[in-house]
Chain A
Amino acid sequence: MIRYIASRLAIAVGLLLGLMTLSFGLVSLLPGDPAVALLGEYATPADIARIHGELGLDKPLWERYVEYIGRTISGDLGHSFFTGSSVSQELWTRLPNTLVYLVPGLILALLLGLAMGTFAAYRSGRLPDKTFTAGVSVLMAMPEFVLALLLLFVFYQQLHIAPAPLGMLSSSDIPPPKVTGSVVLDAVIAGKWKVFGSIFSRAVLPIVTMGLFFAAPFGKTVRTGLLQILHSPQIEFARACGLRPFQVYRYALSDVRAALMTYMVLLFAAALSGAAIVESVFSWPGIGGWSLDGVLKGDMPVIQGFVFVMGATSLLGYVVLDTLITLLDPRARAVAIRGRSSRSSLDTPSLDTPIPHQ
């Protein structure tokens, strides 16, 4: 068991190193000179050379690479070329802002998707299933920002029940005392539940946007997986033993569990890296809008930091998930712990609903 988890950790470390290399390579090898971006097109060669020196861009590539790895491991992701603020600090204050709507949004997507997918699978081929399939096609064809704007139009513009899309706090909210720098965390630490409630009420539309947007592909995955298993000999035998419908459903779910968990992590990664769109629409001070800004300006450390942290989060999520799935499945567990192969095959059904692009 411990050896198994250790081997997983080793793999994670290896992958992280690869990710650092990638995020360094991606940005350093791309065309475009940050000094030019910083100074404008009419900069003199002397100025450019000075900026190169300040940014360390005059050093050879491998030296910059080693420095980058060293700094990243120590938690320093550099400073923005333009604002000079620390990238790790920015990430640390902005990430909670993003998670505060993203995690509930995904949970909403999970619940909606599970309910709709289950309903569709149990009514397969009949009207509810066809309605679901049509609805999913519409939702999946709709870009996230259209969905967000639609929700705003209905609930803010027409019904006046949603607050204006002007960020996390209204002008009347008193920001909590600064402890961590993240408004959300500080509000929780200071026990300012009114501020937290205000944030949450502003987060409702982003949450619903995420929930609806990701419920569609998730529901489709649930439907595909359940349809497969509901026609399987395992479920036939469970029914033949007279198990109650809910027991049968639990048997079926335990079979698609691994595939659904995997899909959830993929969705999380997709949602995190696509946060820019929702955050632009709702003027949300999360990581999405900030990273988009960085990309548009060519702010190298910001892009690098964003790529690295998002990649690392998804990677770690994946490794943890993989370990969890293995330990939850007695067949895989036997193989992993004792290193012996078992009789039956371990293939989980592959459910190939594509991850939506944003």
Chain B
Amino acid sequence: MSLKVNDLVTEFATRRGVVEALHGISFEVGENEVVGIVGESGSGKSTVVRSVIRLLVPPGRVASGTVEFAGRPLLELRESELRAIRGKDIGFIAQNPFSALNPVLRLEKQFANIAKAHGVKADDGARRRAVDLLAATGVSDPERVIRGYAHELSGGMAQRVVIAMALYLNPRLVIADEPTTALDLTVQRQVLDTLRRLTVESGRSMLIVTHDLGVVNAYCQRVLVMYKGSIVEQGRVAEVFTAPQHPYTASLLSSASPPIEPAEAEVVPSQPLEVATWPSSK
């Protein structure tokens, strides 16, 4: 269940002609691996994520390249086939929970809609799983929360709800685009810990975009460094951070505060989470 991206080129049609935003990008996310994407603003991190699961809207468009997930060529699938993969096999965690959640629907309804979209009956069992998942992400009083609306939550709680929705159908791969940037510093860490617990420690893979090298250092095994639409360096975090090969990586590291102490992200094995089980029969 790995993700293989090969020579991906994405372009935007603007008034001043076609602008290439990604200039042929290749990387992999292996089984049960956490890969971080770092790079300055505008370097194309979000564009990578959107291109991979085909969330780009015009004027953006993938011009060439291949994306392979679990052996299937994502860029060649029909829209309906891809839709069945999104949310079910690949979960997506948005940057800002308040702009991602539907403001006028109760959260339980939003969970139910996700289930229905994938042919899962939105019955009591499905609802109980949503509640359990909310509890597992650290939402207090999940029974009350799920009956309410997004605006009643704090930022940290809302992002936990988004995480629960992304994990609802037990995806193998989770893609997160700056999942904690919109949150208070104090809760960023908690949410990231939750995310790690529910993804890599439960046997999933994760591709996480961040501009925080500390996050990469603490949570990722491998890192992609992006600069102006290209990956200028990629490798194991410990190696890249101790001996950066590209000058841009070096400047990124030297400008980081506090300075990064290279340390292999250790995966603490923990008991498998019961929430990760979902009746395999539909």
Q: Which residues of A contact B (CB under 8 A)?
A: 124-125, 230-234, 236-245, 247, 251, 254-255, 328-331, 334, 342-344
Asked if B166 is at the interface of the complex by the 8 Å CB criterion, the answer is yes
- A239, A241, A254, A344: the one within 8 Å of B151 (CB): A344
Smallest Cβ distance from B73 to chain A, in angstroms? 18
Interface flags for B142-156 (1: CB within 8 Å of A; 0: not) read 000000011111100
Tell me which residues across on chain A come within 8 A of B85, comparing CB atoms.
242
Taking CB as reference atom, which chain A residue is nearest B97? A237
A243 touches B87 (CB 8 A): yes
Q: Which residues of B contact A (CB under 8 A)?
A: 50, 53, 55, 57-59, 83-88, 92, 94-96, 98-105, 113-114, 116-118, 149-154, 162, 165-166, 168
A242 touches B57 (CB 8 A): no
> Can you identify 30 A-B contacts, CB atoms within 8 angstroms?
A230-B57, A231-B57, A233-B100, A234-B101, A236-B100, A237-B100, A237-B101, A240-B55, A240-B86, A240-B87, A240-B166, A241-B87, A241-B166, A242-B86, A242-B87, A242-B88, A244-B83, A244-B117, A247-B116, A247-B117, A251-B102, A254-B104, A254-B105, A255-B104, A329-B104, A330-B103, A331-B149, A334-B152, A342-B151, A344-B150
Tell me which residues across on chain B come within 8 A of A344, comparing CB atoms.
98, 103, 150-151
A329–B104 CA distance with the chains assembled, in angstroms: 6
Smallest Cβ distance from A317 to chain B, in angstroms? 22
Tell me which residues across on chain B come within 8 A of A238, comparing CB atoms.
102
A334–B87 CA distance with the chains assembled, in angstroms: 31
A330 touches B87 (CB 8 A): no
A232 touches B103 (CB 8 A): no
Known A-B contacts A242-B85, A243-B113; the reply to A124 vs B58 at CB < 8 A is yes
- B84, B100, B104: the one within 8 Å of A242 (CB): B84
Tell me which residues across on chain B come within 8 A of A254, comparing CB atoms.
102, 104-105
Taking CB as reference atom, which chain A residue is nearest B106? A330
Taking CB as reference atom, which chain B residue is nearest A343? B151
A330–B101 CA distance with the chains assembled, in angstroms: 13
Smallest Cβ distance from A197 to chain B, in angstroms? 41
Taking CB as reference atom, which chain B residue is nearest A331? B151
B165 touches A125 (CB 8 A): no
A230–B56 CA distance with the chains assembled, in angstroms: 11
A242 touches B103 (CB 8 A): no
Taking CB as reference atom, which chain A residue is nearest B114? A241
Tell me which residues across on chain A come within 8 A of B55, comparing CB atoms.
236, 239-240
Taking CB as reference atom, which chain A residue is nearest B175? A240
B114 touches A242 (CB 8 A): yes
A125 touches B96 (CB 8 A): no
Smallest Cβ distance from B161 to chain A, in angstroms? 11
Known A-B contacts A334-B151, A344-B98, A344-B151; the reply to A241 vs B117 at CB < 8 A is yes
A234 touches B99 (CB 8 A): yes
A239–B114 CA distance with the chains assembled, in angstroms: 10
Tell me which residues across on chain A come within 8 A of B104, comparing CB atoms.
254-255, 328-331
B105 touches A242 (CB 8 A): no
Taking CB as reference atom, which chain A residue is nearest B104? A254
Smallest Cβ distance from B146 to chain A, in angstroms? 14
Tell me which residues across on chain A come within 8 A of B99, comparing CB atoms.
232-234
Tell me which residues across on chain B come within 8 A of A124, comparing CB atoms.
58
Taking CB as reference atom, which chain B residue is nearest A237? B100
A114–B74 CA distance with the chains assembled, in angstroms: 33
A255–B104 CA distance with the chains assembled, in angstroms: 8
- A234, A239, A330: the one within 8 Å of B86 (CB): A239
Tell me which residues across on chain A come within 8 A of B162, comparing CB atoms.
237
Taking CB as reference atom, which chain A residue is nearest B83? A242
B117 touches A233 (CB 8 A): no
Smallest Cβ distance from B118 to chain A, in angstroms? 6
Tell me which residues across on chain B come within 8 A of A329, comparing CB atoms.
103-104
- Known A233-B95, A237-B101; further 11 A-B contacts with Cβ < 8 A: A232-B99, A234-B101, A237-B100, A240-B92, A241-B86, A242-B85, A243-B114, A329-B104, A330-B103, A343-B152, A344-B151
B92 touches A241 (CB 8 A): yes
A301–B55 CA distance with the chains assembled, in angstroms: 61
Taking CB as reference atom, which chain A residue is nearest B84? A242
Tell me which residues across on chain A come within 8 A of B100, comparing CB atoms.
233-234, 236-237
A243 touches B117 (CB 8 A): yes
Tell me which residues across on chain B come within 8 A of A247, comparing CB atoms.
113, 116-117
A343–B117 CA distance with the chains assembled, in angstroms: 30
A125 touches B59 (CB 8 A): yes
A237 touches B113 (CB 8 A): no
A131–B69 CA distance with the chains assembled, in angstroms: 39
